[in-house]
Structures are given as structure tokens and as C-alpha cells.
Structure 1
Amino acid sequence: MNFLESPAVTQQAVSVMKKELKKLGRRESKLEAQISAAQAHLNENSDLVQQRPAAANTLVNILTTQAEDASLRVQKLRSEVGSLQEDISRVRQGTEESTSDTEDTVVLRAGLLKYVARGEKYRDRVQSLQLEKTALEKEIQERQNNTNFDRVPLYKRVLAGYPPVSRPYINNLDPVADYWEDLEEILQFNEYTRSCLSNSHYMPYGVVWHDPHAVIFWPSCVFNSRSRKWEPSHFSQGYDGQTYNLFLGRGSYLFYRGTYQFHRTQDHTWNAINDKYSYIFLKQALDLSIPHQPSNVDRQTLRGLILDNVLSLECTLLQCVGFDEELYRSLVRRFYDRGKAGYERTGIYRADNNRRKRDEDWQAVRQSWNAEGEPR
């Protein structure tokens, strides 16, 4: 029997063993009383024993046998009592250990619940801090974006807002004329090119591309070498709001770049430009401001005024609004029909020629087939 199954079973076993122990004690007392009575009876009948030896011997033998049997039963009962006492001791010890283990378990469980509650509290706090961290990171990112956006020059922000337009890149374009040719003469090629004369413009100044759009900076004043005075410039006045077929020079050739609408924006100081091409703008502004071989003193003075944000630069944005394919093809054809075969064709005109040649070769192959579709 396993007495350590539960505290209730253990208590019940102890109670049963106590009852058995009391019962054995009563039986032991009864047997001892019987032995004492037999001994007294033997003493009382000693005279009779002397008178009747045979009967006395028989009675003594009977009483001795009964005493020995009673002694054996007492010894047996005492061993059972000792065994029960040992069991009771083990049960009591197990009960005490179980009680101790139970108390330790209760203490540990209480501590565990305490730390679980504290862990849940910390977990909630961590989640709250994580949400706060995410919100702060988002706010920081928004502020950085706003800060970076504020650092972006105004003209770049305006250019970024223009819709994208599909047009060939410069490396895919063929020249339409030699650099020295007059645009008006170039556009006399056919009726369509002549119709584009009024809204076509050759831009002799350098522009900075933000494909497909561009930007150009003008000086806000020019130096009159005769009067030795600075006068307001008017470079952008004739362009603002106008739409042109734009022609630009590159190397020894003239290229058609597309249809552009010019937009005059607010003047930019040097610090507000913030562009890797800033010094290109500066050089062009100096060249336009002092066009007639200025002295180094005049040029350095103007340069210092611009770099110190005293003089601002006029800004004109060139928004691409399209690409006139017919005008481009007509002018390229004119250029190559005039014997300009020395220029390596790289753009649409070359693609047209390749396509035309491929179609002609394919037509020749088809004509060489018979009616069954097999080569003759």
C-alpha cells in the first residue's frame, strides 16, 4: 500500500493503525491477566499438588502449555505492533515531507504568479514603448522628409511635379544640321517644317537636364562696359510662358530636343541652388553678365556678389510637353540627303533605314518562293 498518494489517504491510514494498536494492547493485557491468574491458581493448589502429584503435574503441564502459547501470541503481537509503529513512523515522516513539499510548492507557485504578473506588466510596458518608438520614428522620418524637402531647391521641386513625357534620349538622336547653319534656313526644307518656323527656337545657352525637363539660370544684371554700370538683364522676358520646338547645339552639330514650354520662376540665390551643376550656372551667368572680354576685376567682383547671395540668378524651367516626330524625321532626312553620310547614325533615322532594309530583304525572299511556298 502506498501511503503517500495523498494527505487524506495518509491521515486515514494513521487512524486505522492507531485503532489496531489499541486492540493489540488490550489483547496483550488480557493474556497477561490470564497468565497471572494461572500462576495464582497454581500457588493456591500447591497443597493439593503435594497430595495429588499426578493431577498436579497434569495441571502444571496444561497451564505451562497455555502460558507458552500466550507468550508466543504476545511476542507475535508485539512484533506486529513494532511493524505497525514503524509504518506509522514512515507515514508520519512522509506526511511531514508531503506537507513541507506542499508548503514549498505553494510558496514557489505564489512567487511564480508574482513574477508572471510582473512579466505581463513589463510586457505591456514594452508594447507601449514599442508603439511610442514606432510613432517617434515615423515622426522623425516625416520631419526628415520635410527637412530634406525644404533643402531641395525650388526649381527641383517644380521640375519633380511635371508629368513624365516620352521622348528619345540624346544618345538616340541624330543631328538635324551642322552647328553653324541658320535655323530659319534649315526649316525651309518642306511645307511642314516651314509651318514650324514660328514656334521653333535655337537656344545658344547651356542648360542643365533633369530628363526630360531642363533648367537654365540667367544673371539678374549685366555689366555695361561703355557706361561702366550694372544694368538689369532681360534674358528671360521673351521666353516666359512660350512653347517652342527647341534646338540645341552639341559638338559640331545641331539637335532637335523636343517641344518645351518655358516657365519663369522666382530668382534663386546661390545658397538656394544646391546643385552639383551650380558652378556651371555660375560660369554661364558670369559669361552673360560680362560678355565683352571683361577684366578679371569685374568678373571677380560679380562672382563674389553672386557667391555672397547679394545678386540672385533668374531661373527658367523648360518643361517637355512632347516630341514632334514628323519635324525630326524631316530634318534628319534633309541633313543626310545633303551628303552627310560621314556621321554615324545612331537614332530613329537609322532604325527606320534598318527596318526598311529588312522589309526589302524579306520581300525579295518572298518573291523568290514558288506558289507552294518553297524556295525556287
Structure 2
Amino acid sequence: MHKEKQIKAFRDEVLSLKCERESAREEARKSKELYKQLRRRTEDLEKIVKDQGKSDYGRAVQNPFDIISSLPLCLKRPAHGTLVPIAKKGVQLREYLLSRTDTQAYANTVLFLPGRFSWCTTARTYHHALAFGPTHTFNIQSRQWEKGTFMEPLYGQTREFFYEDKGDVFYSGTYRCIRLDNPIINWPEPGVQGLVPYIMAETALSEDFRNAPCSHAHKGTVSKLYREGVLKLECMGLQCVGFDKELYKHLVAQYQHNSPTKEKKRSASVEEDKARKRKKT
């Protein structure tokens, strides 16, 4: 009887492994199909870009990092290294702001792009930045790539910008969203920090696609296409134009109230250093 149970268990395990193998094959097939569709779409887009480039022949294209780095610094913003955390990584920032009466008014002005922005180094510090989004998104219903509109609603807007760093979320200041003359670029060089191909791929896939059983394989495929320069990015400038001290004060106070004692001491120490620096100046 015990032997029969063992045999049945082995058979069930073999059947389970076969099912997993078939599932993996199906994911690979769908990923390969998506890759072919991407290639075809990319060839069409490259032809359009090439034709457009003929009319722009001879016109110099300036690096977007250089453009934004050359903007004047905002003197209202504290030095980057003195900023303290306002929340832990993974927080639903908009919902977090809505949960407090003293920050509710800011909930619809948030700009928070983990894995989709990079700092423009200015005078050996971080101040202005660049935001990135997919030029096209994949619609699972139509099985087609459609022009993305991630940046369009933001151009000309002023937003409260937040960023992640080493497990924490920080408030960076008030930023103006700037439309660049040549916003379509390839994936930046490996030395550029802040951009995550997998997150960009997730953004480029529709919500239905992101939740599909084979979504992990598709995200990996799209990530590779970004890194190889097959898929392009839309780039937007982020110029620091202010710093809301009241918002910052409320968020820091709430974070310190919710944080362990060690974290409170660290944040308080940074605040004391800032106060000493202000006295010296």
C-alpha cells in the first residue's frame, strides 16, 4: 500500500513537471511573438525617424543632460545632502498625502517616478533632473503598439517632486516640467543612474498585460529591447523652481513620529547640521 502511494506521488510529480514545462514553453512562444512584433514596429518607426532626420540634417542635437544641467540653481532648495527621508520605500505616496489633513492639498501635485528619472549633476550635486517614459505602449486587446502620452499632460506643469534613495523616499522640491526640442532618445549610457529597464518595460505594457501569467517573460523581452536601443524613450526636463518648506516640515515630522528611535536620532542629527551651517553663512 505504501509503495502504491509512492508511485502515485511520483506520477503526480511527473505530471506537475510536464505542466510547468508546457507553461514555460507557452511563455517563451508568446515572448518570441512579442519580440517579432516589436522588431516590425521598430523598423517602421526607424524609417519615420530616418525620413524626419533628412529634413533636420546638419542641425546639432544637444545632450538633454547638458541642457537641463545648464539651468540656474534654485536658491530656495536646501543642499541635496541635507534632505532627510519623509517615508519608506514602497509607500503609496498619493494615498499617504491624502491620509493627512495638512498634506491633502498636495496629493494631486505629486510627481514620483521610481526607476524612471535621473539626476543632472550640477556643480557636483543633485538639483535638476530628467524624467523618462515609453514612446509607445503595448495594448493587449489590439495586440498593437500605440503612441504613449505619459509626458504630454505634464509639460508646462509645476509639480512637487519626490524620489527614492536607499530604501527611503525624499521630497526634492517644486519642479517645472520642460518640453525638450528633441525629446526622443535611446536608452542612456550604463553610467546614468536612476533608470531601471524592467520598470520602464512594465510602464510600456498595458495593465492587462502586466497582470497576465506570462508578464514576467514579456517584461524581460521589452527590457532587453530598451537596453539595445530598439525601443526609444521620451525625455522630459525637470527644473527645480522652489521648495515648499511647510510640506517638507509636515512630512518630516510625521515620518519621525512613525519611525524607530534610531531613525529619529539620525534625522534630528541632519537637521542640527543644517542649522549649524545656516548660522555659519
TM range (shorter): 0.5 to 0.7
Matches within 5 A, 1:164-203: 164-166=73-75, 167-179=77-89, 180-186=91-97, 189-191=100-102, 193-203=103-113
Supply the distance in 1 between the matched residues of 2:146 and 2:80 (Cα, whole angstroms). 36
Superposition TM-score, scaled by structure 2 size: 0.58
Provide the residue aligned with 1:307 in structure 2. Answer: 228
- Give the conservation status (yes or no) of the 8 Å contact 2:173–2:244: yes
2:130 equivalent to 1:209: no
2:205 equivalent to 1:285: no
2:172 equivalent to 1:263: no
What percent of counterpart residues are identical? 24
- Matched position secondary structure for 1:263: strand
State the Cα RMSD in Å: 3.8
Provide the residue aligned with 1:160 in structure 2. Answer: 69
- Give the conservation status (yes or no) of the 8 Å contact 2:82–2:270: no
Partner AA of 2:183 in structure 1:
D
Provide the residue aligned with 2:154 in structure 1. Answer: 239
Q: 1:247 to 1:274 in 2, by over 3 A?
A: closer
Supply the distance in 2 between the matched residues of 1:239 and 1:245 (Cα, whole angstroms). 12
By how many angstroms is 1:181 displaced?
4.7
Q: Which moved more, 1:193-202 or 1:274-283?
A: 274-283
By how many angstroms is 1:320 displaced?
0.8
Provide the residue aligned with 1:343 in structure 2. Answer: 263
Higher helix share: 1
Q: 1:324 to 1:349 in 2, by over 3 A?
A: farther
Offset from partner CA, 1:165-202 (integer Å, 9 cap, x none): 243355422221233254344355454x3443443343
- Matched position secondary structure for 1:321: strand
By how many angstroms is 1:306 displaced?
7.1
Partner AA of 2:139 in structure 1:
N
Supply the distance in 1 between the matched residues of 2:87 and 2:219 (Cα, whole angstroms). 37
Unpaired runs of 5+ in structure 2? 1-59, 121-125, 277-281
Q: 1:264 to 1:337 in 2, by over 3 A?
A: same
- Give the conservation status (yes or no) of the 8 Å contact 2:111–2:159: yes
Partner AA of 1:267 in structure 2:
P
- Give the conservation status (yes or no) of the 8 Å contact 2:185–2:235: no
Unpaired runs of 5+ in structure 1? 1-149, 357-376
Offset from partner CA, 1:312-331 (integer Å, 9 cap, x none): 32111111112122211121
Matches within 5 A, 1:86-165: 153=63, 155-165=64-74
Superposition TM-score, scaled by structure 1 size: 0.45
Larger radius of gyration: 1
Provide the residue aligned with 1:248 in structure 2. Answer: 163
- Matched position secondary structure for 1:342: helix
Q: Which has the higher contact order (CA 8 A, sep 6+)?
A: 2
Q: 1:230 to 1:195 in 2, by over 3 A?
A: closer
2:140 equivalent to 1:225: yes
By how many angstroms is 1:345 displaced?
4.5
Offset from partner CA, 1:37-91 (integer Å, 9 cap, x none): xxxxxxxxxxxxxxxxxxxxxxxxxxxxxxxxxxxxxxxxxxxxxxxxxxxxxxx
2:250 equivalent to 1:330: yes
By how many angstroms is 1:208 displaced?
0.7
- Matched position secondary structure for 1:280: coil
Higher strand share: 2
Q: 1:268 to 1:175 in 2, by over 3 A?
A: same
